[in-house]
Amino acid sequence: MSKSILIVDDQNDILDLLKEALEQEGYAVTTLPYTEDIVTSVTLHQPDLVMLDFLLAGINGGELCHQVKTHPLTSHIPVIMLSGYPRVLESLGSYGADIFIAKPFDLEHLISSVKQLLDTAEMHT
């Protein structure tokens, strides 16, 4: 069974790029440009990994990451934070993200980070 990934980013070009690249690697990918409630979205889609943009329209992706990492039903799920503003993240902390990747990102690095996190998570289940 293929691993599933939930991506929340308000830039459609990023969503399309990541969806295509990760599906070519054999992952099932769900993309959302916005979510009212990240824990509900994660519970609904049951991803093995979540990717969040740090700056989303009207929401702080860091706060979404914190909600995922502190909720009992979702805290075990690895989270990758993406941001074009790495200094913002440095000044505010990582919100519990497993990996931070700056935009623009190297696609090979991103894919290897996904594989690494999923392999590590699988060892702990």
- Look at residue 109 and tell me whether its pLDDT is greater than 80: yes
Q: Note every long-range contact of 83-87, with CB atoms under 8 Å and residues 24 or more positions apart, other chains counting.
A: 83/53, 83/54, 83/55, 84/55, 85/54, 85/55
Residues contacting residue 70 through CB under 8 Å, at least 6 positions apart:
96
In a domain, 93, yes or no: yes
Give residue 89's pLDDT band: very low, low, confident or very high (50, 70, 90). low
Rounded Cα distance, 65 and 84, in Å: 16
Number of domains into which the chain is organized = 1
Contact 72, 39 (CB under 8 A): no
In a domain, 115, yes or no: no
Phi/psi for 29 (5° steps) reads -120, 130
Give residue 59's pLDDT band: very low, low, confident or very high (50, 70, 90). confident
Q: Mean pLDDT across the chain, nearest whole number?
A: 92
Domain containing residue 19: CATH number: 3.40.50.2300
**Mean pLDDT score, 79-101:** 83
Give residue 27's pLDDT band: very low, low, confident or very high (50, 70, 90). very high
Instruction: Give me the pLDDT at residue 91, please.
Output: 67
Domain carrying residue 34: 4-105
Rounded Cα distance, 120 and 103, in Å: 24
pTM of the model: 0.95
Instruction: Give me the pLDDT at residue 14, please.
Output: 95
In a domain, 111, yes or no: no
